[in-house]
Every structure is written in C-alpha cells, then in structure tokens.
C-alpha cells in the first residue's frame, strides 16, 4: 500500500471512529472502562451474586458434584462469594464458587456474579 493510500485509510478510520463516538462525552470516549480490577486491599473482599437456577441449588462441602450436599439456595437468592476454583463440570462449566460467611461451594453455572471473583489461594 502506498504512502498516500495509507494516509487516506488512516483518515477514513478516524472519521469512522468519530461517527461511532458522536454524542459520547469526550471524557467517556477517552477513557472507556476496561475490565474491573480490584483496588489494593480489596483482594479479600467478597463478591455479591444471585442464584440463576430455576430449582433449589445444592451447596456442597467441596467443589464437585459427588460431594455431600450441606444445604440449598433458592432461585433468585442473593449470595456472597469468597473465591472461585476449578471442580467437576456442570453443564459445560467447571468453575465453582466458595460461599462467603458460611461453608460450602456452588456451581458457577447457576450463579451470576456481579463483579469478577478472585481465584482461591
């Protein structure tokens, strides 16, 4: 591609970006939000979530489907999550969440977390 064609392509890309961002405040266009990163010291904070299962969700003592059921959570119940770990697969997802404030693990497939959940140490 010649120098003139490269300059024309760059100018057209800039115009296209301007059209995409038309009506967006300059501050928002300059600093588009990226993935949420926990602040220093927030690493040990818990994350809020909600049960998206249509039936009661089993709480297990370890992150596997063969572990003992130690409780249940109802559909739409709000939960607090401490961390995530890999466990047995549940409908294509092998991530499990450790509950915060009470013992047990739940399959991430059936819980929507509102912010990223840290990995268990």
H or E stretch covering 10:
helix 3-20
Q: What is the mean pLDDT of each run of 10 residues along the chain (121 residues)?
A: 48 41 38 38 73 98 98 98 98 97 97 96 92
Q: What is the per-residue pLDDT for 44?
A: 53
Contact 87, 81 (CB under 8 A): no
Contact 57, 67 (CB under 8 A): no
Q: What is the per-residue pLDDT for 46?
A: 85
Q: What is residue 118's DSSP assignment? A: P
Distance CA 47, CA 49 (A): 7
Q: What is residue 75's DSSP assignment? A: T
């Amino acid at each position: 591609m010649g120098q003139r064609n490269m300059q024309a392509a760059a100018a057209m890309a800039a115009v296209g970006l301007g059209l995409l961002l038309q009506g967006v405040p300059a501050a928002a266009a300059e600093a588009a939000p990226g993935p949420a990163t926990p602040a220093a010291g927030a690493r040990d904070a818990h994350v809020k979530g909600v049960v998206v299962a249509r039936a009661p969700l089993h709480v297990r003592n370890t992150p596997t489907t063969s572990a003992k059921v130690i409780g249940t959570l109802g559909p739409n119940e709000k939960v607090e999550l401490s961390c995530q770990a890999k466990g047995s697969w549940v409908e294509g997802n092998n991530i499990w969440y450790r509950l915060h404030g009470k013992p047990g693990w739940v399959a991430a497939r059936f819980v929507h977390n509102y912010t990223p959940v840290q990995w268990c140490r």
